[in-house]
Each structure stands twice: as structure tokens, then as C-alpha cells.
Amino acid sequence: MKFVDEFRDAGMARTLATQIAALCEPGRHYKFMEVCGGHTHTIYKHGLEDYLPETVSLVHGPGCPVCVIPMGRVDDAIAIAEHDDVILTTFGDMLRVPGGRGSFFDSKAAGADIRMVYSPLDALKIARKNPDKRVVFMAIGFETTAPSTAMTVLRAAAEGLDNFSIFCNHVTIIPAIKAILDSPDLRLDGFLGPGHVSTVIGCRPYEWIARDAHKPLVCAGFEPLDILQSVYQLLVQLKEGRCEIENQYARVVPWDGNPKALQVIGEVMELRRHFEWRGLGFISHSALQVRERYARFDAERIFSVPGVRVADPKACQCGEVLKGVLKPWECKVFGTACTPETPIGTCMVSSEGACAAYYNFGRFSRDRVKEATRT
Amino acid sequence: MTQDLGSTIPTRANWAEEAVTTAAAQEAQNPHAGAEHLTREEQVLARIAKARSRKAKIKEERVTLSHGAGGKATQTLIEAVFLDAFRNPVLEQLEDGAQLAMAWADGGTGRLAFTTDSYVVSPLFFPGGDIGDLAVNGTVNDLAMCGARPLYLSCGFILEEGFPVADLQRIVASMAAAAAAAGVQIVTGDTKVVERGKADGCYITTAGVGVLERPVVLSAAAAKPGDVVLVSGPIGDHGITVMLARGELDISADIVSDTAPLHEITAGLLDAAGEGVRLLRDATRGGVATICNEVAVASQVAVVLDEAALPVRPVVNGASELLGIDPLYVACEGRLVAVVAPEQADAALAALHAHPLGDGAAAIGTIKDDPPGLVLLRTAFGGTRIVDLLVGDPLPRIC
């Protein structure tokens, strides 16, 4: 397939793997965090770890959009969905995320009208078709998806649709990276930067990571060769004693980002004073809310949202996994109480979540897998 | 800062706390023996393997859509609800159809295959087929997968008040054509009409009887290390066609459903490879990945698939990439997976190629002894990964 196959070439991967191995200093361990859930998915889907030396480990970061949603926000959304005249719409991944009293799937089975959409514009279509219903879009995601939500609000405003609103849960990536760097128990050698977020915000917002936190960051694409090349670039920087922000994903990411997308976000949304992240707790100025001037499209103003707070279950260590302090299998409930069938933590829900990716694609002794797949 | 948050004292998710306590109690009951020599990671993995082999238990209070998707949730529902209540040696095989040994009063004996399936596809009409030929082909194929020659079908209709008679006639006409093509007769039936809103237009249930004329016993538990895994053609066509036909995705593509009767191609395969054929499955709901998982668990073997060898049409690949789903889990309605002894693998593949429905057939993997119960994939990129059962429907990823 064009634009895909050329980034999945096994021959080129072998060449890169040899160069990566040659860059590693004997006896030194390297720990890089891939920020994005999309990266985690690629790493497992293609079996990328087979190409990396054992001394290079990839730590899964907090950039999985559904993984950072706390249980309380799910309960709030379900409370909105339980109104008789409401159709709640959201992305497919979100449907299985557990709240304090169950998931959207459970609430749907109990009678709430909850529908999966592929784009917020689909939610708008549903609103047009159902003028007697109030259609709410549960908006989630980092800066990647925020522009399309904002555009949808602008479209609704232009059309004068009065039965459409969004339940805004958009978050921003920089405060999350800050929180990770502040975590004392994590020693990282560098970051694979979030490619899709960067198509919107560009690479400039990361400059402080190299300057103040002294960690190199390579903004990485999502095909397997993108990730190998980004690891290679990080190792070259370390070898040469450099610490810079580099853009591996330049075919998509402009250094200054997408000014139009940023402008649209800024028109519709503003920073929240604080937002609760699953496992990471409250982080100030880390999320977006709808501006006053678009209040009539803000589900939080239209409905009396209960503002539920649900404590993470005591045994659940999503926070440590999100920060990369624990590998998924090191969590106390991984694979026993918390499984893809009955996830307790969000990391076990989306295939972008570190725990689900590890459980579905990665778990099992590498030696036995290697033996079985030998030709 | 906390007073800024303005929220109440956090509540607790009781279900989650309970799940943790239950798992811990189960763990304490059977500590893993002989685990001392394993690394910590291996101990965790052994614990998971044990948790997975535990008796299925329904945790949900209500049926969700996941229970109908063919993955883990469906298996749990079948095992915990239906199998538990109906338990008998024939049902316990959990094959596509029941294989029944008959002894007639006049002393004659024979073997029959018996199966049933319900069809609720939306939309009812899609490129390459409709609910009618699906309902005939699906049941014909379940019989064919038992190694039987399909003979007779029943059909039950559940119709929604207001359903256009013209649509019904169209569906029935395509059922008749499909039955004629498959050489079966629809010999009995039933009709119910429910109030508007109580069903989605038209649902069909068919049951089928076939006769097992060959001495083969096909079973998901029959795979042995060294066996070869074959698929009869490109995978995922039906699932992608139906997804696109729903019109929710605003993607159009030149693709039609693969719905077709497989009784001829299986007859050819069984003639060519005889007792070397261990099992046949049509890759419907849950796709090839789900079948391979059933085989791995039932036979306690590892199924090792080769991604580069999987026949997938570029348009199916493209749509799957866009939607963030894996063609291995996408449904087919006219493709079979066969596990064949290595000595007969070439003959089996040639037999598939010899039939017009099998010209895209390919050997896609092999059976190994370890690790039992798992499906592994050598990725086209050159890595390896596990191909697990999905919990429910493949849900599109966000970004």
C-alpha cells in the first residue's frame, strides 16, 4: 500500500537495527519514553522490540487519550447520557472505559442512547437529524483532536443548531510531560515526541525539555521505521553529547505547528484551571474548557454535571504505568483482576493503552516466542 | 489548592475493589507451585495463564454488544450461560455444527451434521449480497465445515411491522437462488411479526441438516505440531463491505462481500487431502484470528501465522488502516481456514486453487507445540506479536 509499505520495509529495519546496536555503549542501559499511545500501538503491532538491543528499553508514556480520563468524568458523562432526551456520542475506544459504576457499554445496555462516532462532525449530523433530542459529544484527546472538536462547535454556531453541545475533556500534552519529568523515581534518557500532537502545536513547545530538563526529544512518526529512526536519532544525540529537539516526522509536522488549528482551538476553548488525570491526579492548566462565548454548546453549563470524583482503586497502579515508573506487568492487578475483558484501569482498555498493548501483543517470554516463530 | 477543586470527597468504585479482592483470594487459594525458578515477569505471565484458564463467569449484569461480537465476551456468554445449562457431550465440542451418530430402526447407521445460525446484518442489502443469501450460505458453510454434504434447511423470519413486502420478496428470492446454488432445499419454516420498533426490519434464523459421507472427524482439537494452516482466499472482504455499506464512514471503495457456499470447495479439499485434514472453519464473526485462537486453545498448540503470507486485498488493507482495525479480526462469509497435516498440505492447497472460490488460497502459518494456547504472528515488518482474542467488536482507535 502506497505511503505505508515504504515505512514498513523489513530490510531497512535490519539496517537501522544494526546501526542502533553499534551506537549503544557496552554496559549502558538506555530508557526512552514514547509519549504517544499511537507509538505504543505501533511498537507492539509490528513487534518492534525484536529489533532493539536488550539494553534499549521503551517506556510507555501518558499520551493515550482514553487512558488519562478519570473514572469520575465517565460517571459525569453517563449522568448526562441518562437524560431521556439525550443522545451521547463519543469515539469507539471510549465506550469500554470503566467509570465508578460501569462503562458506556453498560449504560447503553441499561437503556441510555449512546452512539459511537468517527468524527465530531458525525455527532453534528445526528443532531441535525434529531431536532427533538439533545446531542452531546464527549470530546476527548490531546491537541490532535481538539481542533476538530472546536471546528464542530464553530459549525454548529454558524448553523444555529441549538440541540448540540460538547462535554469537553480535551487535555494538553506539555503539562503531562512536565509531571513525568517531576516524578523523582523515573530516570529517562530521552523522549520520542508525540507526532500527531505536534502536527498541531509544532516542535517549539518542547524546547524547554532540552534546555531546562536536559533531555533530548525526537518528534516521531507512527510507522515502525519512524520509531526505529527516532531511537537512532536519540542515540546519535547521546553519543555526540547533544541534547536537542529534532523532528523525525517532518513530512507531517511543521516546526511551528498548524497556526490555523491553534487559532480555532483558541477561539472556542481556553485552559482549565485544573483537571484530574487518571493516575496522575490534578494538574493545573492541563486541559481545555469551552469559552464563555460558546457557553450554549458547553454540556457542563447546560446540564447539571454531578462532578463526581472516584478514587482510583487502591491496587490499581495506572498512575505509575502512565508515568513509565512501572512496566505494565509490574502492576499488582495486571492480568488477574485487571484484564481486557474487565479492565479496572484505563490503560487496559484502549489498544493504545500500555497495559492492553502489552497484554494483547507483548506478554509472554520473548525466548519462547522467538523459539516458536523461528523458521 | 484543594478547596479550589470544589468537589466532594471521592467515592470508590466498588466493583473494582471487589474484583481486586476476588482475584487476590483466588490467587491465595492456589499459589503457583514451582514458580521459584522463574523471573518475576515470567511468574506474572504464569499467573495470567492460570487466570485465563479459569472457568468463565459473566460479570456484567446485562448483555452488551460485546457479547455478540464473537470474541472473548461471546465465549464467556456461551460457556457460562448456555453450555452450563445444556451441557452434553455433543455440545461440549463447540464446533460449527453438531456431528451426530445415527442408528436407524432397520439397523442402518450413518452420521449427520446439524447446525443453526441467526442473521441480523445491517444493512439488509449490501454490495455482493443480502441477508437472504447470507442466511443460506452461512448455514450451508457451517455444515460444510463439519465435512458434511448439506441437504435441508429450515428458515425462521422475524419481521418488523411495516417492513416492505417488496424487500421481503427480494430477500426470499435471493435465498431461493442461494439454496439452488448450494444444492439444498428449504423444507420448513416459520414467520413472526413484531410491533414496529421491536426489531430492525428483518431477522432470519436458518437451521440445516447434512450427511457426513466421509469417514473424517474434523475438530478444532485435532491440530498437531507441524500441521499447516491454509486459508481459501483474501480475508475481510465481507466485514469491510458491510462496514462501508452502513454509510457512516464516508469512505467508498470498490469491494463486494465474499458470501458464497463452500460445500464444493470443502468436498474437493477432503477428496484431495483425505484424513490429512484436521479441521475446517469458516472465518465469519471474529475473523481468522478468532478461529486460530479456538484451535490453539482446543488443541493446546501454538498457531504461528505469517503476516506477509496473509491474502488481504489492498482495499481491505487500506480501509483497515484508516479505521485502525486489523483485517485478521474482520468477518468473511465465504472463506475457510483449514488445518492440514504437512504431508497433505500441498495437495490441499492445490485442491483449493482448483476451485474458482479458492484461487486466492494461501498457506498462512504452521502449528507448533509451544507456547500452547497462543496465536503468534511473524509481522511483515520482521517482528513478532501475540494475536489474542478480541473482547468485543474491533473498536476504532482515536488517533
Q: A89: domain CATH number?
A: 3.40.50.11740
Q: Is the domain of A297 the same as that of A358?
A: no
Q: How far is A137 from chain B (nearest CA, A)?
A: 14
Q: Is the domain of A102 the same as that of A126?
A: yes
**Domain contains A353:** yes
Q: Model confidence at B183, in pLDDT bands (50, 70, 90)?
A: very high
- Tell me if chain A has a CB within 8 Å of the CB of B28: no
Q: Is the domain of A104 the same as that of A162?
A: yes
How many domains is chain A built from?
A: 2
What are the chain B neighbours of A8 within 8 Å (beta carbons)? 380-381
pLDDT score recorded for residue A204 = 96
Where in the sequence is the domain holding A350, given as residue range(s)? 318-368
**Domain contains A158:** yes
**Domain contains A134:** yes
pLDDT score recorded for residue B4 = 42
To probe the interface with A, which of B61, B243, B325, B381 has the most A CB atoms within 10 Å?
Answer: B381
Chain B from 265 to 304: CB within 8 A of any A CB: 302, 304
What are the chain A neighbours of B10 within 8 Å (beta carbons)? 72, 309-311
**Inter-chain CB proximity A105 and B399 less than 8 Å:** no
Of A239, A172, A178, A253, nearest to A208 by C-alpha is A178
pLDDT score recorded for residue A197 = 96
pLDDT score recorded for residue B3 = 37
**Inter-chain CB proximity B9 and A102 less than 8 Å:** no
Domain boundary among the residues A276, A302, A328 is at A302
Average pLDDT over residues A128-148: 97
Q: Model confidence at B5, in pLDDT bands (50, 70, 90)?
A: very low
Write the Ramachandran bin of B363: left for phi over 0, alpha for psi from -120 to 50, otherwise beta: beta
Q: How far is A207 from chain B (nearest CA, A)?
A: 24
**Domain contains A297:** yes
The DSSP symbol for A331 reads: S
Note the pLDDT tens digit of each residue in A147-192. Answer: 999 999 999 999 999 999 999 999 999 999 998 898 877 789 999 9
**CA–CA dist B173, A53 (Å, integer):** 61
**Inter-chain CB proximity B63 and A109 less than 8 Å:** yes
Q: Model confidence at B25, in pLDDT bands (50, 70, 90)?
A: confident
Of B139, B124, B128, nearest to B182 by C-alpha is B139
| Three-state SS sequence of chain B | CHHHHCCCCCEECHHHHHHHHHHHHHHHHCCCCCCCCCCHHHHHHHHHHHHHHCCCCCCCCCCCHHHHCCCHHHHHHHHHHHHHHHCCCCHHHCCCCEEEEEECCCCCEEEEEEEEEEECCCCCEECCEEHHHHHHHHHHHHHHHCCCEEEEEEEEEEEECCCCHHHHHHHHHHHHHHHHHHCCEEEEEEEEEECCCCCCCEEEEEEEEEEECCCCCCCHHHCCCCCEEEECCCCCHHHHHHHHHCCCCCCCCCCCCCCCCCHHHHHHHHHHHHHHEEEEEECCCCHHHHHHHHHHHHHCCEEEEEHHHCCCCHHHHHHHHHHCCCHHHCCCCCCEEEEECHHHHHHHHHHHHHCHHHCCCEEEEEEECCCCCCEEEECCCCCEEECCCCCCCCCCCCC
Q: Is the domain of A137 the same as that of A162?
A: yes
Note the pLDDT tens digit of each residue in B363-393. Answer: 999 999 988 999 999 999 999 988 988 877 7
Q: Is the domain of A150 the same as that of A93?
A: yes
Q: Is the domain of A87 the same as that of A156?
A: yes
**Domain contains A243:** no
- Tell me if chain A has a CB within 8 Å of the CB of B385: yes
A220: cell is 516521531
Which of B4, B9, B19 lies at the smallest CB-CB distance from A342? B19
Q: Is the domain of A90 the same as that of A121?
A: yes
What are the chain B neighbours of A339 within 8 Å (beta carbons)? 51
The yes-or-no verdict on residue A343 having pLDDT over 80 is yes
Q: Is the domain of A81 the same as that of A125?
A: yes
**Inter-chain CB proximity B382 and A71 less than 8 Å:** no
**Inter-chain CB proximity B12 and A44 less than 8 Å:** no
pLDDT score recorded for residue A158 = 97
**Domain contains A197:** no
SS3 A95: helix
Domain boundary among the residues A246, A271, A302 is at A302
**Domain contains A31:** no
**Inter-chain CB proximity B13 and A313 less than 8 Å:** yes
Q: Is the domain of A294 the same as that of A349?
A: no
The DSSP symbol for A173 reads: H
A347: cell is 490503560
Give the residue from chain B lying closest to A14, CA to CA: B382
**Inter-chain CB proximity B304 and A372 less than 8 Å:** yes
Q: Model confidence at A322, in pLDDT bands (50, 70, 90)?
A: confident
Per-residue CA distances from B343 to A254, B227, B336 (Å): 57, 9, 20
What are the chain B neighbours of A99 within 8 Å (beta carbons)? 13
Write the Ramachandran bin of B377: left for phi over 0, alpha for psi from -120 to 50, otherwise beta: beta
- What domains appear along chain B, each with residue ranges and CATH number? 47-87 (no CATH), 96-212 (3.30.1330.10), 220-386 (3.90.650.10)
**Domain contains A223:** no
To probe the interface with B, which of A35, A118, A305 has the most B CB atoms within 10 Å?
Answer: A118
**Inter-chain CB proximity A311 and B11 less than 8 Å:** yes
Q: Is the domain of A92 the same as that of A141?
A: yes
Note the pLDDT tens digit of each residue in A230-285. Answer: 999 999 999 999 999 999 999 999 999 999 999 999 999 999 999 999 888 899 99
Q: Which amino acid is at B306?
A: D
pTM here is 0.89
Domain boundary among the residues A302, A327, A343 is at A302
